[in-house]
Structure 1
């Protein structure tokens, strides 16, 4: 799925802000492809108690021309020497303060948030539904190789996460949250519509162009609004008076994400596979179209709530401010390194930026140094939607009365997350503490190791799967099959080394999978029979080219010159549906029908002189020729079949089903262990990583931290693109083991980095040097009628 918490209510949303200012966008933590893992909301409420801050913004308050860090404020009751004989404690719990203030005036729950929650449900349904079937669409409909489809999938995911930072900056610096969500949602809709139109075959549109343009617009829209929606919901509340209500909002918001992703991940594969449209066994227009309709509905719902929204103007973006600080420090150091040496390279920014900001950036950089190894985890995690889905297509999803679709297995991740998160505090973490794993960085390391173990398991599964794969023609070799629909054996003679002379059994097939052909070979052959009842003799020639499978059909009533050749397909079908053909020794205009034995519907219909492979569902079929029953056949996912039919002496038909390629035999449920281990690792890695990061970073830097967390997901997808493009191995199992090895090596490096990491004490208060001389703090003027609730900067 994607990554870890789709919505973690961060401190930037919760603090009270002046009515004229907007709380900065929260860069929501990465999501699971279907459902997010999220830190318990009560922990976030506790974290909020520690600091109530002004919006992290690029404040224009200046001292001597220096940009200042946004002023930290706390609104607390006036300290009293004693209350009921007890000393009043300044660090009294934040929730108690909020409750005390709420007694003065209880604010109603904002109705506007229900429009936001409904909007989020529809948008997540669209995103996860489209993403679930994407790699199969790229490989089946666009004909991309698995490596190419994997690259496109991860490039798309990479841009979604890179553009999250773009959306946050646009929202905080220019458009504000409402306009950013609205405008980028329109872009999102355009992308979804283009993707749907491109999938409709009869329109004859340039499918590849529409698909790529659609994905680009979806990445811009989805990535751009991702950090804005939860923050916009937080803006609807007044904090601290509504701190309990905002916690319940985030619970509902998180539920809407889970509901949208779970339903779409389950339903969209059904729309894709169980519905036929436009003469195709799969219905990708419906699989893309239904989520697109939900996206349109989400925008309509969002606009309907406009009159109820509290819209705050953009107040600047901390990511921009931090980036500017770092850039100033680097450029100034290049100029003054020799003439004005400093203890730390960030100190070179002190001519333009305030000391507190520089010190906070120093702490931030120490935390971000630990982020360097993190992308490798996301490289493994996000392959659930690509490599693991392709792996599932080569497995048997038949559960008897129902089938598990290959892409449908992705629903395991969100389901397991919902099970695991409550269990971690009561079961998993106590168990880990027994073996000495108690600290956050230790837990994060354990999560990464679990991801590596998951890929070892997937590699072992792949090794067993490879035993079921068909033998394919390789360089300077061909495969030869001769199908005989006659009641007598045939003798085949040729000028091809290894196939000089052989016998083809009556009503059967001869197969040779390893014949040498340098580049191409002009085959000259003769077919004859010693049976006086056959009266068959045929001489012909055929140009055979290397690395291909060639089939010769001997069918006197249904062919020119008694025989015909066809370049054949012998690999497992990428769509996992069985491929079938019928070769019948009957008059060429006879009609052959395959009818589903259980449902009674016609799977396909053809004339007897047509022998192309046709996709059908895994099922039992009744075969009829001109309405006369031939018999029943069973075909299964992943198999390639040829049905031979001939008339018998009684006026009926004899048939034999030849298995050219064995169907999938390994049950798809063997993939469950790797999903379980990966999800265990995800919750431990992501939730622990976020909690540790928030605890270590200065309060003003948390939005920057979120941006960088999202970027680790983006860079993780870059790693997959590089390795997939390199095509280092012929075996997919080897690639899985490579990723596992990278993960273990990465965690070894992380352990060393964590060992030398010096934790930051978030409770330690920095000494603030009093402002002297002409260094006057310019507080931006408040709107008329607004009370100044902040503290003087020198307090």
Structure 2
């Protein structure tokens, strides 16, 4: 039997050393006994808790002299446990894996819309469905790790599945003839969801297993900060470069390169697997502790059976106590603790419903804003770079400045920080709703705002300059002219009721026919008239047929004065050079608006280039084309509504607030769920934490599908209000929670040992009265909890 196993059987060790001291067989001097005791203590990692257990047995039969106990405090405080070297491999692996995930996720919604042809609503639903699956599979990963393979093998095998999915998505982005791109993409995303979801609950818990608690409680807190730092460092770099690879690199004849933008993160995922394997010899691998999900399920089922049979004859204090005869007191106690923690998780999905929209709704919002900043074009998906960049700065800022300030105000417990995170998330969405309202005003600018006002625009599709007369307009200039391929407008015409007005236009220069007709105006409406050949064509002008959520996109209306027999007339945008991007224009349809990408576009008739023009983001344009194949074509781009004047930098306030909410909520919650969970259920509780993210994304899918609001600003406001209500519910649930201390896990481990010793030598034990503690809310020591647990507060100076 080794010394280490003897340390577990403390009663046997005491008995043996006692008789050896009496018989002078081996350790005849007090100093030798002290050395033996020091060696024994070092074999159990120098745990101060177990040293306290030694010190509780202090009677004349104890073989250790008194000064041995005095040396303990001096010796062992000078020999801290070294920081685990294996953590470096785990953090490096997490960096590469997060680089892949966030790099792919950053450009996903634009890939779904620009390449696969989905609209924004469908792309949002697909994006959040994928994210929902990513956070459902952690539950399965936890079951595999705890009940079958262990954390190491689970991470390794599912990482291989993850790598395969990343390569499939990258391969699917290559434009190959006959390849079902949508199906390949779905398969790749499903494999990624299985892989990244399956390893999520295991990686952070596996990293926590490398530490010896409670002696390394502070090091564990630093590990979680480093772990989150690696996550956001990978996210920062990938969200910076993948949009550049997407937009600035041209491949396969396209003006972008999604295959490369997906491929580089996929290579990083393969590297992450190799790094993880390289650290195998240093890992402290815990064997599978058993499938605690089924254990908890059995506990609940047996409790129900016992309650049905014995609720009248043997009433219990708690419902779960009825399962003690079948599953034991320990599992009942841990199930109670798990239930009290999961009760706090109920409001969490709403936070994730808001947080994950940074990759969908907020990205689409950025596409409708002006990205020119100091001469540089910021791409919409690059705005996601701000979040990890701020995280890297916020982590030390919060640890060393914000949290100490909050402690002075009495805010130091984890649940208090989580509440502040929920409040900040609501504020971030109120800001996004206000920004969306500001952008939607541009859409309403194309429509009369006063009840008895109408808008009138007259477009000249001829190559002659026209002078027109009519008694409808409010403008006083005389005469009134419309330039060739130009536009005349009056946006303040008083029209109390629908009325027709006479109109006549004669050419001033050129041999163009006179045009006569009637203008029909209605209050609150915007009308356009197109002079073509010898007639006027009326159509609904402005943005009446565009949703307010699309107000920041670039639209063009084609007004063609060309022979119907000549064609096709093709409009292509140079920034999206895919086969699906060219638009076929109909010269008989004047009112249709075509959504195009900002940048340069060109128009071709019969395969010949007629001209090119530049359209800016958020603008509404009318493209006037006149002529024939024999005489040649002329064109002009008229700006009906100016481009978006809302800078993309206006997204920064909401991103800053949401990032602060993430630090307060996500970092604290990750540490809270690991530290408060029973030792045998840490991976399961981590999976439940991630499962709340899946439910949050499901909320987004439901709201997006059923369209509870008519505008995007209304939807943002709805989410913000839900978050406020959710925060109040969380406050009510958390009002009576009492924190578990890390030492209690180790005291529970010693219960059996101390019990054996007390039974074998009852006269050698002196009962020491200590304040009662218990897990969760079982007679907690007054003041004990987060105030004395530095892992929660990150109060390194106090430690």
- Contact 1:109–1:245 (CA<8 Å) still a contact in 2? no
Match of 1:741 among 721, 724, 728: 721
2:21 aligns with none
Deviations 1:292-335 (A, max 9, x none): 23323434555566688776654424444334323432354355
2:706 aligns with 726
Deviations 1:143-176 (A, max 9, x none): 3333332222222112211211211221232233
- Contact 1:169–1:320 (CA<8 Å) still a contact in 2? no
Deviations 1:502-531 (A, max 9, x none): 997632247899xxxxxxxxxxxx999666
Match of 2:343 among 369, 373, 380: 369
Counterpart check, 1:753 vs 2:746: no
Match of 1:215 among 181, 186, 189: 189
Superposed displacement of residue 192, structure 1: 2.3
- Contact 1:182–1:299 (CA<8 Å) still a contact in 2? yes
Q: Which has the larger radius of gyration?
A: 2
More moved, 656-665 vs 722-731:
656-665
- Contact 2:369–2:646 (CA<8 Å) still a contact in 1? yes
Matched position secondary structure for 1:180:
helix
CA distance in 1 between counterparts of 2:581 and 2:338 reads: 67
1:322 aligns with 296
Deviations 1:519-559 (A, max 9, x none): xxxxxxx99966694355999xxxxxxxxx99998788xxx
- Contact 1:591–1:606 (CA<8 Å) still a contact in 2? no
C-alpha change, 1:483 and 1:287, in structure 2 (3 Å) is farther
2:484 aligns with 506
Match of 1:534 among 493, 506, 511: 511
CA distance in 2 between counterparts of 1:607 and 1:460 reads: 34
Deviations 1:484-503 (A, max 9, x none): 1422449999xxxxxxxx99
Counterpart check, 1:486 vs 2:460: no
CA distance in 2 between counterparts of 1:332 and 1:309 reads: 43
- Contact 2:624–2:635 (CA<8 Å) still a contact in 1? yes
TM-score of the aligned structures, taking structure 2 as reference length: 0.67
Matched position secondary structure for 1:469:
helix
C-alpha change, 1:696 and 1:442, in structure 2 (3 Å) is same
| Structure 1 gap segments, 5+ residues each | 1-15, 19-51, 55-71, 494-501, 514-525, 540-548, 777-795
CA distance in 1 between counterparts of 2:179 and 2:528 reads: 34
TM-score of the aligned structures, taking structure 1 as reference length: 0.67
CA distance in 1 between counterparts of 2:616 and 2:353 reads: 33
Counterpart check, 1:284 vs 2:234: no
Counterpart check, 1:668 vs 2:668: no
CA distance in 1 between counterparts of 2:583 and 2:289 reads: 71
CA distance in 1 between counterparts of 2:467 and 2:178 reads: 46
Deviations 1:687-709 (A, max 9, x none): 34445555654444444432322
Matched position secondary structure for 1:657:
strand
Residue correspondence of structure 1 range 37-436 to structure 2 within 5 A:
79=54, 87-88=69-70, 98-99=80-81, 109=85, 117-230=91-204, 254-302=228-276, 313-334=287-308, 337=311, 341-433=315-407, 435-436=409-410
Superposed displacement of residue 461, structure 1: 0.9
Deviations 1:645-702 (A, max 9, x none): 779xxx9998643124542220111111111111222222233444555565444444
1:638 aligns with 618
Matched position secondary structure for 1:352:
helix
Superposed displacement of residue 336, structure 1: 5.0
Matched position secondary structure for 2:637:
strand
CA distance in 2 between counterparts of 1:434 and 1:244 reads: 21
Superposed displacement of residue 463, structure 1: 0.9
Structure holding more helix per residue: 2
Superposed displacement of residue 135, structure 1: 1.9
Counterpart check, 1:686 vs 2:666: yes
- Contact 1:79–1:90 (CA<8 Å) still a contact in 2? no
CA distance in 2 between counterparts of 1:367 and 1:108 reads: 29
Matched position secondary structure for 2:463:
coil
CA distance in 1 between counterparts of 2:255 and 2:669 reads: 44
CA distance in 1 between counterparts of 2:286 and 2:558 reads: 68
Counterpart check, 1:469 vs 2:443: yes
C-alpha change, 1:197 and 1:126, in structure 2 (3 Å) is same
Residue correspondence of structure 1 range 524-563 to structure 2 within 5 A:
533-536=510-513
Match of 1:713 among 666, 690, 693: 693
- Contact 1:577–1:636 (CA<8 Å) still a contact in 2? no
Residue correspondence of structure 1 range 576-655 to structure 2 within 5 A:
578=554, 615=596, 618=599, 635-644=615-624
